[in-house]
Amino acid sequence: MPTINIQLFEGRTVEQKREYAKALTEATVKVLGCSPSAVDIIFQDVKKSDWASGGELWSDKS
Residue 37's pLDDT band, with cuts at 50, 70 and 90, is: very high
Q: What value does the mean pLDDT take over residues 22-36?
A: 98
Domain ranges of the chain: 3-46
Provide the CATH topology of domain 3-46: Macrophage Migration Inhibitory Factor (3.30.429)
Q: Is 36 a catalytic residue?
A: no
* Burial of residue 21 (number of CB atoms within 10 Å: 0-12, 13-18, 19+): middle
pTM: 0.88
Q: Is a pLDDT exceeding 80 seen at residue 62?
A: no
In percent, the amount of the chain with pLDDT more than 70 equals 100
Q: Which of 1, 2, 29, 62 is catalytic?
A: 2
